[in-house]
Amino acid sequence: MKRLLHSKKYGCENIKFTHHESQVLYSSSKGSDHAIRYHSLHTNQYIRHFQGHKDRVRCLAVSPTDDFFMSCSDDNTMRFWDLRSPHCCGMMETKGVPIGAFDPEGLIFAVGMDSHVIRLYDLKSYHQGPFSTFQQVPDTSLYWTGLEFSLEGSKILISTNGQHMKIVDAYEGKTKALLGNYQNTAQLPLNAVFSPDGNTVACGTEDGFIHLWESEKGEHIGKLDGRHPNAVSAIAFNHSSDLLVSACSQLCFWLPDEKFD
């Protein structure tokens, strides 16, 4: 461990790195304060607070190209921000709690609502409404916990709190693959990720393993055993080195040649 920083009063969740390697965004996890905090890891000081949400923030997404980011909240709104200003620069009301993601070029964003609808918006004209809407078959046994575009932008990965996830075509909304063969009896809000080449999906689960799927057809291709003592709560790829990191109360680092069961 290089350094330990605390956020005891407000808690910390949905942490995201910005384009500066020592600066992060995160939302509150407890209390009535629903501000988003912009934090310097180098000085351990807040750079800025972003206030406006009336309920807990469930999702943060940082633009891949600039200092723009969006937040999705239980108050049924999405808000748009620029890291350089504390003031909200746009807001969109939604029917239900939204989750969102930027496409790889930062020109389009996707919004998932009510765990069965995906809407695509042009960032420059989102106030005119979505340019595409994809209806998905509802499944009342689960809810969506996250969206992610593949690096080439052709696929959208839907993470859930259930025992399967889904990949849909980003142009037509058709289901390309269902990802299953893992357990999530505790209904944890799992978040899966694409590998940098988009050919593989990885997700940590309640059994402490990292499960792997082929992304085109959803074939389960194995699992990695990092001997995590608890459910894997976070997982991420480093897109420049193909390094995979998984975390519960401990961290595991994986290289591309790791063997799996």
Domains and their CATH numbers in the chain: 7-138 (2.130.10.10), 139-261 (2.130.10.10)
**pLDDT for res 154:** 94
Instruction: State what percent of residues in the chain have pLDDT above 70.
Output: 95
More confident residue, 32 or 196: 196
Mean pLDDT, range 36-49, rounded to an integer: 90
List all residues 6 or more positions away from 122 whose beta carbon is below 8 Å from its beta carbon.
107, 108, 128, 131
Residue 213 scores a pLDDT above 70? yes
pTM of the shown model:
0.89
List all residues 6 or more positions away from 44 whose beta carbon is below 8 Å from its beta carbon.
5
Torsion sign, CA atoms 238, 241, 242, 247: negative
**pLDDT for res 111:** 97
Residue 109 scores a pLDDT above 80? yes
Residue 81 scores a pLDDT above 90? yes
Interval 151-169: pLDDT, tens: 999 999 999 999 999 999 9
**pLDDT for res 4:** 67
**pLDDT for res 83:** 95
**pLDDT for res 3:** 61
3-state helix, strand, coil split of the chain in percent (to 5) is 0, 45, 50
Distance of CA 54 to the CA centre of its chain: 21
Mean pLDDT, range 208-226, rounded to an integer: 92
Mean pLDDT, range 238-260, rounded to an integer: 79
Of the candidates 237, 232, 259, the residue with the CA atom closest to the CA atom of residue 248? 232
Cross-strand partners of 40: 23, 45
Mean pLDDT, range 230-242, rounded to an integer: 83
Residue 260 scores a pLDDT above 70? no
Tell me how far apart the alpha carbons of residues 256 and 227 are, in angstroms, rounded to a whole number.
18
**pLDDT for res 141:** 87
What is the pLDDT confidence band of residue 17, given thresholds at 50, 70 and 90? Answer: confident
Instruction: Provide the mean pLDDT of the chain.
Output: 90
Residue 43 scores a pLDDT above 60? yes
**pLDDT for res 227:** 86
